[in-house]
């Protein structure tokens, strides 16, 4: 795999780059979810400063097929608002390539070719074309015809076999962007360290079924799984404990029960919880203390999934205390990931420190950590 950071200035000059990023952010989260936007800026600036013309590609949401005609009404699927946001952050115009313009590839190509060095374009949501999720070769070839080379800087989508992530690499010289490089190097680092010095996994969030790769693949390597959130509730249900109307996954309760039997020494469940209106909504103070003590001694930590319903400040304490404890352990190396987990981290105003890496990948991070080969990364090799 070749990294963008290895390129010399003159290798890139005057070229047109197709840059795949992840701008899959909901309207409500545009303000909050700034890690995702900010983390792609280094690659964009790196390219612009070398006189490269950029065509930024992304998806947004999961529009149904045949929705294309109605796109104007469904602005939650349009990437148009991000042209303005990027333009503000980059302090330069960002030209939007609409759905119709993407259909008229030759005309759009001319427009890009006429633009001056360092110009930036943002293309409309690629998932408005059903071919994107089908990894369609013809669609990828058409897209590829817009540029001279391709950069994947969308780690969080690299586990998806989509045209702008996988098929496109057949038609253009393809490299890893600065963000993808950082993700790969940090996740490789934690995997290496975990093998040498043990590992603590803090696991919360909504569904066990989303996190199963982690539970299955780290049974040997992890010393402890500290469990919270809906995952803990599902495990309680698996043990036959009453959980009232708490968030849990009933179909996963038998799996949880088996897992608890086989890993009884490693899986640590909350010993007290915060309950409101018949719902378990956070881990309790004794549990926080216990988890903090384990985190304090850890040398390698992975954290995915909040400990409770942290969106309500009344139930955010568990997640925030875990976040603080991880940050306070300067001797450990920690990787933190997952869409909601990252919001917790920003809410405790953590400074990204050297002992910690905040990953932009949710599902992709879990799969990569578990040792799976991600199609988007394989395609760059
Ligand atoms: P991530 O995106 O970080 O991987 P998930 O998507 O798995 O995390 O889960 C996050 C969601 O789970 C949050 O919206 C949070 O409110 C919810 N959650 C966690 N624990 C509970 C709980 N006990 N009750 C209700 N919701 C919970
Ligand atoms: Mg989530």
Does pLDDT of 253 surpass 60?
yes
In this predicted structure, what is the pLDDT of residue 339? 87
Q: Which two tokens stand for residue 21?
A: 């990023």
| Active-site residue, 338 included | no
For the whole model, what pTM was predicted?
0.93
Does pLDDT of 98 surpass 80?
yes
In this predicted structure, what is the pLDDT of residue 33? 65
Look at the block and give the residue holding tokens 């290798």: 11
| Active-site residue, 305 included | no
Tell how far the Cα of 339 is from the centroid of ligand 1, in angstroms. Answer: 10
Per-residue pLDDT tens over the stretch 331-367: 999 999 998 998 888 777 655 566 899 999 999 999 9
Tell how far the Cα of 363 is from the centroid of ligand 2, in angstroms. Answer: 9
- Residue from 36, 127, 160, 211 carrying the catalytic annotation: 36
Helices (H), the chain: 9-12, 34-38, 41-49, 80-90, 99-103, 105-114, 130-133, 137-144, 178-197, 208-217, 229-238, 253-262, 285-297, 317-328, 339-347, 363-369, 375-378
Least confident stretch, 29-38, 125-134, 330-339, 360-369 = 29-38
| Residue with CA nearest ligand 1 atom 5 | 205
Closest ligand to residue 282's CA: 1
Q: Would you say the C-alpha torsion 291, 292, 297, 302 has a positive or negative sign?
A: positive
Does pLDDT of 230 surpass 70?
yes
Closest ligand to residue 361's CA: 1
C-alpha–C-alpha distance, residues 286 and 272, integer Å: 6
Does pLDDT of 165 surpass 80?
yes
C-alpha–C-alpha distance, residues 331 and 317, integer Å: 24
Does pLDDT of 270 surpass 60?
yes
Closest ligand to residue 210's CA: 1
What is the pLDDT averaged over residues 128-137? 95
Pocket test for ligand 1, best of 245, 314, 337, 340 (most atoms within 8 A of CB): 340
Does pLDDT of 63 surpass 90?
no
| Percent with pLDDT over 70 in the chain | 95
- Report the mean per-residue pLDDT for the chain: 92
C-alpha–C-alpha distance, residues 102 and 108, integer Å: 7
| Active-site residue, 238 included | no
In this predicted structure, what is the pLDDT of residue 353? 63
Tell how far the Cα of 6 is from the centroid of ligand 1, in angstroms. Answer: 39
In this predicted structure, what is the pLDDT of residue 68? 57
In this prediction, residue 71 has a pLDDT band, given cuts at 50, 70 and 90, of low
Q: Which of 378, 360, 371 is nearest to 1 (CA)?
A: 378
Does pLDDT of 369 surpass 90?
yes
* Contact predicate 269/236, CB 8 Å: yes
Nearest ligand 1 atom to the CA of 279 is 24
Does residue 305's CB lie within 6 angstroms of at least one atom of ligand 1?
Answer: yes
Does residue 339's CB lie within 6 angstroms of at least one atom of ligand 1?
Answer: yes
In this prediction, residue 12 has a pLDDT band, given cuts at 50, 70 and 90, of confident
What is the pLDDT averaged over residues 267-279? 97
Per-residue pLDDT tens over the stretch 288-303: 999 999 999 999 999 9
């Amino acid at each position: 795999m070749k990294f963008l950071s290895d390129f010399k200035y003159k290798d890139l000059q005057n070229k047109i780059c197709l840059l795949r990023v992840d701008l899959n952010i909901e309207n409500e989260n545009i303000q909050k979810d700034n890690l995702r936007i900010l983390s792609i800026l280094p690659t964009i600036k790196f390219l612009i400063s070398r006189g490269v013309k950029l065509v930024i590609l992304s998806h947004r949401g999961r529009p149904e097929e045949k929705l294309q005609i109605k796109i104007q009404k469904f602005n939650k699927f349009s990437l148009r608002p991000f042209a303005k946001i990027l333009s503000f952050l980059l302090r330069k115009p960002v030209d939007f390539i609409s759905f119709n313009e993407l259909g008229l590839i030759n005309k759009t190509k001319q427009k890009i070719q006429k633009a001056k060095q360092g110009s930036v374009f943002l293309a409309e949501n690629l998932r408005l074309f059903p071919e994107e999720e089908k990894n369609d070769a013809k669609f990828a070839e058409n897209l590829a015809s817009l540029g001279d080379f391709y950069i994947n800087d969308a780690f969080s989508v690299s586990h998806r076999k989509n045209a702008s992530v996988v098929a496109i690499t057949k038609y253009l010289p393809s490299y890893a962007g600065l963000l993808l490089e950082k993700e790969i190097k940090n996740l490789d680092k934690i995997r290496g360290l975990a093998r040498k010095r043990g590992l603590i996994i803090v696991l919360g969030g909504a569904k066990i079924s989303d996190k199963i790769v982690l539970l299955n693949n780290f049974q040997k390597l992890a010393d402890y799984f500290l469990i919270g959130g809906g995952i803990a509730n599902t495990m309680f249900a698996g043990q036959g404990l009453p959980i009232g109307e708490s968030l849990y996954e009933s179909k996963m309760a038998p799996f949880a029960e088996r897992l608890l039997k086989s890993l009884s020494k490693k899986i640590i469940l909350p010993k007290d919880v915060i309950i409101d209106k018949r719902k378990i909504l956070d881990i309790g103070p004794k549990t926080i203390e216990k988890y903090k003590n384990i985190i304090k001694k850890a040398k390698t930590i992975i954290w995915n999934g909040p400990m409770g319903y942290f969106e309500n400040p009344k139930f955010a304490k568990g997640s925030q205390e875990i976040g603080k404890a991880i940050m306070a352990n300067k001797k450990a190396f920690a990787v933190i990931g997952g869409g909601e987990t990252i919001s917790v981290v920003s809410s405790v105003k953590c400074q990204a420190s050297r002992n910690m890496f905040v990953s932009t990948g949710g599902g992709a991070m879990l799969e990569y950590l578990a040792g799976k080969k991600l199609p988007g990364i394989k395609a760059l090799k």
